[in-house]
Structure 1
Amino acid sequence: MCQCCSYTIHSERSHFGWDNSLSPVLQIAPGETIEFSCQDASAGQITSTSTVEDLMARDASKVNPVTGPVFVQGAEPGDILKVSIEQFSPSGFGWTANIPGFGLLADQFTEPALHIWDYDKTGLTPALFGAEAQVPLKPFAGTMGNAPAEKGLHSIIPPRRVGGNMDIRDLCAGTDLYLPVEVAGALFSVGDTHAAQGDGEVCGTAIESPMDVVLTFDLIKQTPLKMPRFATRGPVTSHLDSRGYEVTTGIGPDLMSGARDAVSGMIDLLTAQTNMAAVDAYMLCSVCGDLRISEVVDAPNWVVSFYFPRCVLE
């Protein structure tokens, strides 16, 4: 257990859906710091020796486990739960996959693919992606959220007003996350830890990686919040900015189509410039490239851009 933590919650204390009837695994007071051990998005079904066949044989009902829930004393509907993200202890193992039927370009990439990562868990030096690329690492938790007010079991996959599977890569160490509270105690859980991800997570997976997360909790009483917000304490792209970017665009009246066109354009560019297969370029885009809305005011067409960091290939 980390020296600053009051408790450690082990990864066995996890669940696969949001449900406000779940019994909390721990009750804490505001101001306490807790260490959470988080499984990867496959709940340990994918290992360092896994193959594409193992990927397709996994139990799809056991995805994105989250550790918790934690009951925060004094938390009530209408409050804000402030989650200060203190540190991550990565495992050194990760995986990225193209899963048929999932991802922005699922209709174009219909065959499964799997890449196993072995990265430097201490120094976090850029992780090798074959002979073609090396990806700067930035650990974060893809899923952090409170239990919703609506009764019953709700899927862990879509993000919600109370947080959940938001996959925001800037929810890293040094960021403060603010979440609406809808039930007594908030019932907070965390998981889906990543060693790196691009904005958009376009193929549907990042560098999925088990790791420990240290979080500090506080309450802001009776301050209604419609949606999650967060504040960073410094730059958010410095790990990728060093060599500039290659950028492709998608232009048209539909933002989703624009996003697809921008990513497709980058995959075409990467395969033309390197020897990598298109599906590898797709997965690489997911772990380090960024989708950005560049313009939404010049009707009837909007511009979506996809930024790929040159440092990954140089």
Structure 2
Amino acid sequence: MTGVVDFEPSAPSLYTFGGAEPVAVVKPGQILRTSTEDCFGGAVRTVDDLPSRVCQRFNPVTGPFYVEGAEPGDTLALHFAAITPARDWGMSATFPHFGALTSTHATATLQPPLEELVWQYDINLQVGTVRYAARRSDFAVELPLDPMLGTVGVAPAGGEVRASIVPDAHGGNLDTPELRAGTTLYLGVNVAGALFALGDGHARQGQGEVCGVGVECAMRVTVAVDLVKGVATPWPRIETDHQLISIGAARPLEDAFRISQRDLITWVVELTGLDVLDAYQLVSQAGRAAPGNVCDPLYTMHAAIDTNVLRGATAYGDSHRRLRGLAETLW
């Protein structure tokens, strides 16, 4: 198909946003099919593979991809048509100095750090489950399979290079479970070509990613790509069939909350023509908020509102619906 770009990475090699040459060119209106490694680079394969021993780096992403015609001040629209586990297993872990409930350099405490421990999850694609099994008892439970990408972003502005583990206005390690198949992610373009990359697949993840990692899994990804010319997007935004979501990243967590809420309110103003305080009141009563992660160098929060509350307002020229239709041509 001329409208499809296939790119298969030979090995995980990119750990940044910015500072890398593109691996492929994608035109607006085309569909990209690629694959991603897990956050461990595939090195953690059993419960005996402690990440501190087998991993040199963390959170590889596939890319960057150059989007033809993308310029600073545009918005990149990425509609995720499919995110499918590439293996029948996923891995998770606790780390001595990473996660929401352990000592870190930024939250120094006197108690010992947590033990490093690994869990293996069995993934059943046919049934749609992820099997949790406790390490120190015979407790086990089947959880719903809910594949997502933890990390999607573009090159930052000003020639900056950011580690792929960091979330910020350019996207990056957002770790929001809403970034699943069927959603459209909007990112502000900072450099020519946008230079987007993606990775960090999770077979599922709870809100907050409290221990620091989801059920980490390699993924096969199909994404429809488009540009919204001349429209800037200050923070990452997600559109689903029923919701608009703004994402903020900062420390402390309340600042990430404020960023996401402010961005959603200003977005609602743009879409409805409401006065700022009227939109503030509407989002206060009809909105929802949840953490993406509370473990990375910056924390993420998202603010969401149901689109039916906005009385038919459409975002970005109805890009979500158009890209969903484009993705459906594959099936």
Query: Contact 1:141–1:191 at 8 Å: present in 2 too?
Result: yes
Rounded Cα–Cα distance in structure 1 between residues aligned with 2:223 and 2:17: 22
CA distance in 2, matches of 1:227, 1:167: 15
Which ranges of structure 2 fall in alignment gaps of 5 or more residues? Answer: 104-110, 245-251, 255-288, 292-331
In structure 1, the partner of 2:166 is 158
Kept in 2, the 8 Å contact 1:19–1:151? The answer is no
Match of 2:115 in 1: 111
Report matched runs for 1:278-289 at 5 Å.
none
| Residue 168 (str. 1) matches residue 172 (str. 2) | no
From 89, 94, 97, the equivalent of 2:93 is 97
Report 1:84-233 matches (<5 A).
84-90=79-85, 91-107=87-103, 110-130=114-134, 131-233=139-241
CA displacement at 1:14 relative to structure 2: 4.4
Write out aligned runs for 1:36-115 (5 A): 36-47=34-45, 49-52=46-49, 54-60=50-56, 62-90=57-85, 91-107=87-103, 110-115=114-119
TM-score in terms of structure 1 length: 0.70
Q: Matches of 1:126 and 1:32 in 2, distance apart?
A: 32
Alignment deviations for residues 201-240 of structure 1 (CA, whole Å, 9 cap, x no partner): 000000000010100000001111110111112589xxxx
The question of whether the paired residues in 2 share the 8 Å contact of 1:66 and 1:191 is answered with: yes
| 5+ residue gaps, structure 1 | 237-253, 257-290, 294-314
Q: 1:81 to 1:292 in 2, by over 3 A?
A: closer
What is the TM-score normalised by the length of structure 2? 0.66
Q: CA shift at 1:6, angstroms?
A: 1.2
Shift of 1:176: 0.7
1:32 is aligned to 30
State how many pairs are aligned.
237
Contact 2:3 2:29 in 1 (8 A): no
1:150 aligns to what SS in structure 2? helix
Q: How many Å separate the matches in 2 of 1:13 and 1:217?
A: 23
Using the alignment, how far apart are the partners of 2:133 and 2:243 within structure 1?
25
| 1:273 alignment partner in structure 2 | none
CA pair 207-126 structure 1, distance change in 2 beyond 3 A: closer
Mapped partners of 2:238, 2:193: distance in 1:
20
CA contact (8 A) 1:65 1:191 kept: yes
